[in-house]
Structure 1
Amino acid sequence: MVYALLFAFSALFMLNLVSGEGVVRQTTSRSTGDYACSKYMCINATLTGDTVEYVLSSTGSRVPGWMAVGFGTQMSNNPMVIMWSNSDGSITLSQRVARSWVMPELVSNPARVATLLSDFSTTETGNERYAFSITWDNSARTNLIWAFGTQNPGSSAVDAPFQFHVDAGYAHFDLSKPISVISDDESASTASNSAPVPSSSSTSKTATSSTSSTNGLPLNAHQRLALAHAVFCSAGFILILPAGVLVSRWARTFTSKWYTAHWTLQFVFGALSIVIGLAFGVHSVNSGRHVEHLNDRHKQWGVALFALYIFQSAFGAFIHWVKPKNSTGRPLQNYLHAISGLILIGLGFYQVRSGYSTEWPMMVGREELMEGADIVWYAWAVILPLLYFAGLVLLPKQLKQEEAAKSPMKEVSSNEEQSSLLAEPQVEEIGMNKIYRD
């Protein structure tokens, strides 16, 4: 009887194979995991027993120079695995840790050793995929950071230096999610353009996680310094200095106090904001051992812009205190001062935009400094010139006041009442003579 049952089961099994249904979709209760994708790369994680297999794959948007994943919620003091391909077709796996927001250093004896999975890795252009396995930390909820760089280190050495990433972020993985594993035959028929990968890269039955921008993470010390630099310098160059210019353009025909307001904004409040911002910027660079001074256009333009601000302030003081002799009209130096001031503000706008759109992502590994920053920047870049040039409608009035201030005082009548009416305006005009000509 037993032999008959065994024969019957064997016959059914063979019949199943002959009918072409021997290759079935396998499901496993032992393998679980999660995956997530960003613009440039995807991360797949498969938990089997006490081992987690990770696959870092390119989306094809850009050719990866290197790809990395770290364990934690921030770059500093968390272990990470960085991988890149070499010219001979091999793949380098480097385990590192960053002590601050600087280039990660090699860890010779990591607490959890990552092992390259060559069978699941490929350097094929457009389908780059780097895989490794690592001991599970016994936590189903795993916080990951990730980074994608386009510049290959150019060396197979595990301690080779590499360039800043072009994109980075974090993801929250739930390694307890069930995963359906597709058999080799089925995977070959549905994904002809990709090589077999660990089970986590197969379509999951559960909802996937999604990677998030690093903007959701708290700022570290280096980033806080960079942010303070951005706030103070932006306030100085595109808020305070333009305010001083608008005061000069609009208020000079209505009050003799315009010059006091002008130089106070430009020299006192402007200098405080710009110098403090510059100090924060220098300190931010100094806080990173692998960050250099003046190694990119933003830093170089920053120094040039600060020098131009010092020149403009000194030039304004010179114009105020040193008047050309025998001048019958507005001196040329006054026009040069106005033109250089407008150039200073224009360059300030350029510098602020390069700071939040280029320097911030490159230096601190986050997305743009402020969501919607471009909208605010473009709006202010349009509104400010409109306010300034609208003030030119007062130019005829200004020229008449300056001309009146230069004319000799008329003799006043001996009539006491008439004298009292004329004295104040005449004194006011003479008193404003120097101010109008500044």
Structure 2
Amino acid sequence: MWRSTLSLVLSAFLLQLPQVTALKGDSQCGYLVCVNATVHHDTVTYQMTARQDRMGWLALGFGRHMAGTDMVVMWRNEDDSLTISHRHGYDHTEPQVVEDPPRTAFLPMLQPTVWSSKLNPANTLTFSIPLDESQWVFKPEKNGTFENLIWAYGMTRPATSDPHTSIYGHYAAGMLLLNLEKELSGTPPDDPTINDDDTTSTAPSHQDTQTAFEDPYTTHELIVLCHGVIASIGMLVLLPAGALVARWTRTYSDKWFKIHKFLNYSIGLPVILVGWALGPFAVFDARASHFMDAHQISGVFVLIVYLVQLSLGRYIHARKGLPNRATHAPSNILHVVLGLVVIGAAFLQVRSGMNEWEHHTGEKVSHWCHILWKVWIIALPVLYLLGLSLLKRQFYQESHGLNPSSAPKHYVALSPDEGHRSMLFNADADLDSPDYGFPDNSRLTKEAETAVPLLRRN
């Protein structure tokens, strides 16, 4: 009796061997979410893993777009239990609960181990569902049949474990293709293919897995990195340099405005616009929601204030020299104040950007970046405040019409006529005046009340 029973068990085990060694499935990793699918008989098991520490809920939809797609939403509750909620997307709004879904997802009797040792088991949610090949499409360029899937990642956990409870808006979403006809035999369960491209898939291999994890940056991370570096150069190098030039050199050279304009407008504007635009492009690349955190919202604010400040500067320069225009009109003062606000906000924006990088990638920003930020946020105000010591010299030159670069050093401050209030006039223009040999009482000059002699005495 026991021999016959043992024979039946061994037979059943041997019959199952080909199915075990010939498992099919596929896996794919994006910037925020990894998905692994394993087909067993007529059931497919999906593992969704958030690659960030903060996870609220994950969703997997069976289609190409959110509208008209059935999806499975999962989250882990405070008591470590798991909730499965069947939903249907009608538009770019919260998916509605479906009481009688076409396919019912369920939790596996035994939760499988995470398919990669590089991923966090606490951020992995697994469900099984009956296999449905209706969404499979043949891709000639890939020479395979793929299932269209969409994914969504939310950072905030729903308030309760009830499948009908509302879920907060997703932080990011995307699409992927999985080849569920791919043979997985010979590949360890914890050694999947990791591919950072959300639209391609490759065959599983140990070498490919290590290469994907060892790549220094994904394409998305490179976009974010370029955004941070270029915007930082524009906001924390070019703009402060232009401000310091205006503060320190305006009383010594009339070339200060050209340099100030070159740094803050000719070069600064293109650099800042390119760096800023890479931010929304990175969000779009991750299929994430815009204006989801303080960094994104304040980035728009800083850009708007910078453009207003820039436009105000051009307005001031266009009205320069007009009659009855005050030397320090309110628009001039506002221009300076807005410039300081932009630079100050840029420091906070760069720091929050570094925090965002560490939060979303799990990688620390280089220590020298933090040191440089701390040194510069102290050194820059000190340099600018020291430059305020030149205000007295600036006000004196402005009140007397002095131009520091056009007059000879030892020229006497004369007044060309009684109606001109300037203490200094252009010597070259005076020498070029025509002389007809007749005395001209209207052009009589007098020596100014100054200790400087009319001519230099050796």
Q: Taking structure 1 as the reference length, what is the TM-score of the superposition?
A: 0.51
- Specify which of 64, 68, 86 is matched with residue 94 of structure 1: 86
C-alpha displacement at 1:131, in angstroms?
0.8
> Is the counterpart of residue 242 in structure 1 residue 240 in structure 2?
yes
Residue equivalent to 1:255:
253
Residue 115 (structure 1) aligned to one of 81, 104, 120:
104
Q: Report the CA distance shift for 1:395/1:357 in structure 2 as closer, same or farther (over 3 A).
A: closer
Q: Secondary structure at the match of 2:23?
A: strand
Distance 1:57 1:276 in 2: 33
Code of the aligned partner of 1:131: F
Q: Which of 193, 207, 218 does residue 209 from structure 1 map onto?
A: 193
Q: Contact conserved, 2:358 with 2:364, CA < 8 A, in 1?
A: no
Q: Is the 8 A contact 1:44 1:55 kept in 2?
A: yes
Assess if the C-alpha contact under 8 Å between 1:44 and 1:56 holds in 2: yes
Q: 1:43 to 1:278 in 2, by over 3 A?
A: closer
- Structure 1 counterpart of 2:452: none
1:410 — aligned with what? 412
Once residues 13 and 74 of structure 1 are traced to their aligned partners in structure 2, the CA distance between those partners, rounded to angstroms, is 51
Say if 1:245 and 1:262, in contact at 8 Å, map to a contact too. Answer: yes
TM alignment of 1:5-404, pairs within 5 A: 10=4, 13=7, 27=17, 28-29=20-21, 31-34=23-26, 43-56=35-48, 64-70=55-61, 80-84=71-75, 91-96=83-88, 105-106=95-96, 113-120=102-109, 129-133=125-129, 134-136=131-133, 137=136, 146-154=151-159, 156=162, 160-165=166-171, 175-178=182-185, 204=189, 207-210=191-194, 212=196, 237-238=235-236, 240-249=238-247, 251-252=249-250, 255-263=253-261, 266=264, 296=294, 298-299=296-297, 302-303=300-301, 306-307=304-305, 310=308, 314=312, 317=316, 321-323=325-327, 341-354=339-352, 358=356
AA aligned to 2:185 is P
Name 1:430's counterpart in structure 2.
none
Counterpart contact for 2:56–2:158, Cα < 8 Å:
yes
**Paired AA for residue 53 in structure 1:** T
- Amino acid in structure 2 at the alignment position of 1:247: V
3-state SS of paired residue (1:176): coil
In the aligned structure 1, how far is the partner of 2:330 from the partner of 2:156?
51
RMSD: 6.8
Given that 1:43 and 1:54 are in contact with CA atoms closer than 8 Å, whether structure 2 keeps it comes out as: yes
Distance 1:42 1:31 in 2: 19
Q: Is the 8 A contact 2:61 2:72 kept in 1?
A: yes
User: CA deviation digits over 1:218-252, x for unaligned, max 9?
Assistant: 99xxxx9x999999977764465334224325653
CA contact (8 A) 1:40 1:60 kept: yes
Asked if 2 retains the 8 angstrom alpha-carbon contact of 1:153 and 1:160, the reply is yes
Higher relative contact order (CA 8 A, sep 6+): 1
Partner SS for 2:327: coil
List per-residue Cα deviations over 1:380-418 (Å, max 9, x = no partner): 785697689779999999987986887896279xxxxxx
SS in structure 1 of the partner of residue 73 of structure 2: strand
Q: Note if contact 1:95-1:114 (Cα within 8 Å) is conserved in structure 2.
A: no
Distance 1:218 1:97 in 2: 27
Percent identity for Structure 1 against Structure 2: 24
Contact 2:150 2:175 in 1 (8 A): yes
Q: 1:385 to 1:268 in 2, by over 3 A?
A: farther
Looking at structure 2, the residues matched to 380 and 371 of structure 1 have their Cα atoms a distance apart, in angstroms, of: 15
Task: State the alpha-carbon separation in 2 of the partners of residues 332 and 163 from structure 1.
Answer: 45
Q: 1:345: Cα distance to partner?
A: 0.6
Task: State the secondary structure of the residue aligned to 2:127.
Answer: strand
Relative to structure 1, is the Cα distance of residues 247 and 213 closer, same or farther in structure 2, using a 3 angstrom cutoff?
farther
Report the alpha carbon displacement of residue 177 of structure 1 after superposing the two structures with TM.
0.7
- The one-letter code sitting in structure 1 at the alignment partner of 2:127 is A
**Contact 1:120 / 1:130 at 8 angstroms: preserved in 2?**
no
Offset at 1:305?
A: 6.9
Flag the structure with higher helix content: 1
Do 2:47 and 2:124's aligned partners in 1 also have CA atoms closer than 8 Å?
no
Give the letter for the 2:412 counterpart. K
Q: Are the counterparts in 1 of residues 67 and 89 from structure 2 also a CA contact under 8 Å? A: yes
| Distance change >3 Å, CA 426–CA 295, structure 1 → 2 | farther
Aligned residues: 358
Say if 1:45 and 1:54, in contact at 8 Å, map to a contact too: yes
Letter in 2 for 1:120: M
TM-score, with length taken from structure 2: 0.49
Gaps of 5+ in 1: 1-6, 181-202, 325-330, 413-421, 428-438
Contact kept in structure 1, 2:298 and 2:349, CA below 8 Å? no
* Cα distance in structure 1, aligned partners of 2:39 and 2:193: 16
Cα displacement (A) at 1:347: 0.8
Distance (whole Å) between structure 1 residues aligned to residue 429 and residue 390 of structure 2: 16
> CA offsets per residue over residues 268-304 of structure 1, 9 Å max, x none?
876788799999999999xxxx968798564257437
Offset of residue 361 of structure 1: 11
Q: Could you tell me how far 1:115 is from its partner in structure 2?
A: 2.2
1:423 aligns to what? 427
Q: Which amino acid aligns with 1:151?
A: T
Q: Are the aligned partners of 1:170 and 1:212 in contact in 2 as well (CA < 8 Å)?
A: no
Letter in 2 for 1:345: I
Rounded to whole Å, the distance in 2 between the matches of 1:269 and 1:300 is 23
Distance 1:25-1:257 versus aligned 2 partners, 3 A rule: farther
CA separation of 1:154 and 1:77: change in aligned 2, threshold 3 A: same
Q: Aligned equivalents of 2:6 and 2:237: distance in 1?
A: 82
For 1:218 and 1:98, how far apart are their aligned partners in 2?
A: 29
* 1:316-354 CA distance string (max 9 Å, x none): 949975237xxxxxx999999767633421212322554
In the TM superposition, what whole-angstrom CA distance separates every residue of 1:17-70 from its partner, at most 9, and x where no partner exists? 9xxxx99996325533355789997644221345422244689966x5322235
Alpha-carbon spacing, 1:347–1:411, altered in 2? closer, same or farther (3 Å): closer
